[in-house]
Amino acid sequence: MEAKKTVLISGGAGYIGSHTAVELIGAGYDVVVIDNLSNSEEASVEGVRRITGRDIPFEIVDTCDMAALRSVFAKYDFDTVIHFAAFKAVGESVAEPLKYYANNLVSFMNIVEMMKEFGRPNVLFSSSATVYGDAETLPVTELTPRKPATSPYGNTKQMAEDILRDCCAAYAGLYGIALRYFNPVGAHPSALIGELPRGVPNNLVPFVTQTAAGVRECLSIFGDDYDTPDGTCLRDYIDIVDLACAHVAAVRRMTEGKMEGKFEIFNVGTGHPVSVLELVTTFEKVNGLKLNYRMAPRRAGDVPAVWADTSRANEVLGWKAECSLEDTLRSAWEWEKRVRGL
């Protein structure tokens, strides 16, 4: 029997969800997008439609609303859900922990509950390198012990991984994969979709592109006295299209029944550490501009360095990051220019 080819994407109007929708469609899947638009715009679904030439079903649904979610499960026939819908601002989660625990955990448990109720098998969960905290050995493999979370946001990622593991062990028909993303950056080469943070960006690349566009006056580089080659933090910046392709590989593994256990975890990064300063100078070089930046004190909660050992994803998923940092920083700037009408 041919595997069912429809994937429900919760949070599909968001940054990672919209890029994943494009790549899934390119790989021959149908997608259904749900999103409550709390931190995203319907325009990104329109962007996905324009890129793919497909009329994608989209419903404004909050995954915390069990009744609304149940109607989606009743209406569409899919075997696989990718659950992106979540809040993701680390600082805000420290200030408003209940908001994060309620939203991120209830929405995820609702998804799993519906999978069980409707007998749908495959859940792909968006996890994060944040689960490793300040790791003792680098690069981190999937077997590197998780550290106690330093924020409620990080805690929701750890807890959701555990919830999925336990539910897969308990419920016969349920299979799960957690992808631990490193730092997703860049935009689709068409510049029709990209990252659109509301308010002042927390993350580095949107702050860089907004500074280049004149929306922000000056980028602060948080800390130049770390024990790293140039004193700034090291991260693993993964191109958003590469990241989206990792989801396609994981979905394929699930829908083709190739999983070895019931729950699997994969790091999704490039395997290469890049410093904040290196990222900034590369951005300047490839886009031919000067960025206004200054050194600033360390940001609370930042780890000095984290990057991925990607062997498992390379070997088991048959996936590998391909886009260069140069190309991804070009795409990030093209997107910002389009958003600002530059």
Compute CA distances 176 → 46, 145, 296, whole Å: 29, 20, 41
Q: Across the beta sheet with 122-128, what order do the strands follow? A: 58-60, 30-35, 6-10, 80-83, 122-128, 175-181, 263-268
Residue keyed to tokens 């080659």: 229
**Measured from the CB of residue 325, what is the shortest distance to ligand UD1 in angstroms?**
14
Quick check: is 226 catalytic?
A: no
CB 132 within 8 A of CB 231: no
CB atoms within 10 A of CB 28: 9
Q: Which lies closer to ligand UD1 via its Cβ, residue 228 or residue 314? A: 228
Nearer residue to ligand UD1 within complex by CB, 33 or 131: 131
How far from 37 is each of 11, 15, 106, 154, CA to CA, in Å?
8, 12, 17, 22
Give the nearest distance from C-beta 301 to ligand UD1 in angstroms. 6
Minimum CB separation of residue 103 from ligand UD1 in Å reads 15
Determine which one of 29, 100, 153, 237 is catalytic: 153
Residue among 69 and 221 whose Cβ is closer to ligand UD1: 221
Q: Judged by CB, which is closer to ligand UD1: 141, or 203?
A: 203
Judged by the rule CB under 6 A, the positions of this chain that interact with ligand UD1 are 88, 90, 128, 130, 151, 154, 183, 202-204, 207, 219-222, 233, 235, 276, 299, 301-302
Pairing of the two strands 58-60 and 6-10: unpaired
66 class by beta-carbon count within 10 Å (0-12 exposed, 13-18 middle, 19+ buried): middle
- Do 291 and 213 form a contact (C-beta atoms < 8 A)? no
Please say which residue, 127 or 255, places its beta carbon nearer to ligand UD1: 127
From first CA to last CA, the distance across the chain in angstroms is: 51
Structure tokens belonging to residue 281: 């100078």
What is the set of active-site residues?
153
